[in-house]
Amino acid sequence: MIQALLPFPQIDPVLVHLGPFAIRWYALAYIAGIVVGWWGVVRVLRQKKLWAPPPFNGKPPATEDDIGDLVVWAILGVIIGGRLGWVLIYGTFLCSVTPQYAAFCDGLPMGFITDPIRIIAAWEGGMSFHGGLLGVVLAVWLFCRRRKLQMLAIGDLVCAFAPIGLFFGRLANFVNGELWGRAANVPWAMIFPRDLQHLPRHPSQLYEAALEGVALFLIMQIALRVFGAHRRPGLLCAIFFLGYGTFRFISEFFREPDTQFIGPVSMGMALSIPVWLGAGALFWLAYHKPVSKDA
C-alpha cells in the first residue's frame, strides 16, 4: 500500500480577513510576481553595459516610466486573458467533452448562459496560463503600438522576468492544495486535503515552481547577461516560449491531468504544441533580421 511520508502543510489559503474581504495567498502571488518582475526590468534598464552594443547603441528600448505604464496593461492582460482562457479551454471545451471528469465543471458550459456572472467569477477559481500569456502578448502589442516602441525588444524584457510570476503562482497552487500530481510512492508524496481519493501524490506544483520558475529564470538571465541574447530582439521571447513549453510538458508526466486529450496526451501537453510553434516563429524572427550597427 502506498504511504505518504510527508504531511501536507496546513496553510490557510486566506492570509487575513478584513471584514467581508479576504486577502488570499493566490492574489499575493500575482502581486509579488508583478512587483518583483517590474523591479527586475527596471534594474536591467539601468545597466548601461547591456545596452551599449548594437542594435541599441547606448539607448535602452524603453524608459522606466514606460515600464511602469506597461505594468498596468500587463495586469489587465493577465487577468482578462487568464480568465477568458480558462472559460474557453476548460469551462467550455473540457467540460463539453468530459463534464464528469472535472469537479469544477458543475453544470458548465451551460452554466455560463444560465448564470453569466460565472464567466468573470475568477474568485471562485479558474485561471489559464496560456490564456494569460496571450493576454499579455496582446497587451504588449497594443502598448508598443501606442508608444511606438519595438515590440520584440519590450517582449524580451517581459519574458526575462516572467518566470518569477510562474514561481509565485505555482507556490500559491501548492498552498491552495490544487492542481496536485499523480498518485506516487516516492518518499515525498503527500495527501492533499481536497483530494477525494485520499491518495499520496506528487507535489507537482513544487516541481513546476522549480522548473518553470527557478530553472527557467536562471536560463533567461544567463541568456541575457552572459550571451547577450537581447541583442537579437525576439530571441529571449523565443527561449522563454521554448523553455516553458518544454518544462510544462515534462511536468505533465507528474501532474494529475485535467483530462486525457488524445490517448496518453493530456490537455497540458497538447497546449505546449502551440507554445513551441510560437517559439519557432520567434527564433525565425530573431535570426531573420541581422543585427544593425546603427541605432
pLDDT of residue 295: 40
State how far the Cα of 57 lies from the Cα of 83, in Å rounded to an integer: 40
- What is the pLDDT averaged over residues 44-68? 96
Q: Which three cell numbers stand for residue 4?
A: 505518504
Greater pLDDT, 2 or 28: 28
pLDDT of residue 294: 47
> Nearest CA to 267 among 2, 38, 85?
85
pLDDT per residue as tens digits for the range 171-199: 999 998 888 999 999 999 999 988 888 89
> Nearest CA to 221 among 205, 239, 196, 208?
239
State how far the Cα of 120 lies from the Cα of 83, in Å rounded to an integer: 7
Task: Specify the range with the lowest mean pLDDT, choosing from 88-97, 98-107, 176-185.
Answer: 98-107
Q: Which three cell numbers stand for residue 162?
A: 516572467
Given a cut of 60, whether residue 99 has pLDDT beyond it is no
Q: Are 255 and 268 in contact (CB under 8 A)?
A: yes
pLDDT per residue as tens digits for the range 225-278: 999 999 999 999 999 999 999 999 999 999 998 666 677 888 889 999 999 999
Q: Which range among 81-95, 112-126, 250-264 has the greatest average pLDDT?
A: 81-95
3-state secondary structure of 265: strand
